Amino acid sequence: MDPIRPDIDAAISKMPSKVGGKRELKKLPEHLWEGEQVSILETGQYGAGMGIIALTDRRLLFLKDGIMSQTSEDFPFDKISSIQWSSGMMFGKIAVFVSGNKAEITNVGKAQGKAIVDAVRNRISAASGPAAPAAPAAPAAPSTPPAPVNEDPVEQIQKLAGLRDAGILTEDEFSAKKAQILGI
């Protein structure tokens, strides 16, 4: 494959397989924002299309560039409320929760898929932490909306428990937010 850009070339070199994503890899630079850097690439299926998942310093991007149809779906970090990883024997699935909606990317390679999910989790948890850096393009919004000042802490924790039980929050995310509400 011809050289594209140093960051993209480095991410491509770490991909175990490019099957189902060669056209998308060539088109990727056209879909990136100015100054955006790619760190991890992997193939996967979103909806009916096989394409690539690109983790950048600003967002998670799915790109499908087929002959009959094209798909580009981006998930900016400040809009992602939660992300989940599950895997089978050969492939895994990434579930991204954005604005109350769930997007699933399937047939993702296990090693790269887990690395993508871990990196997104670190990014969104850092954005909600006390010393969170602002995103380069715009200020980062917290991953969950701030609770109203007058809301009872018990009610807040019950709502969080509901999100945890629904699979939207992990046990660690629930515990961290609970500790924040209780001030411990």
What is the tens place of the pLDDT at every residue in 117-131?
A: 999 999 988 876 665
CATH number assigned to the domain covering 6-139 = 2.30.29.30
Query: Within the chain, which residue ranges are assigned CATH 2.30.29.30?
Result: 6-139
> What SS3 state is found at 169?
coil
What is the tens place of the pLDDT at every residue in 123-179?
A: 988 876 665 444 444 444 444 444 444 567 788 888 888 888 887 778 888 888 887
- Alpha helices, DSSP H only, in the chain? 6-13, 22-31, 110-127, 153-165, 171-182
Residues 6 or more apart in contact with residue 22 via CB below 8 angstroms: 1
Identify the residue whose tokens are 């024997």: 89
Query: What is the value of pTM for the model shown?
Result: 0.65
Please state at what angle helix 171-182 crosses helix 153-165, rounded to 10 degrees.
180
- Check whether 49 has a pLDDT greater than 70: yes
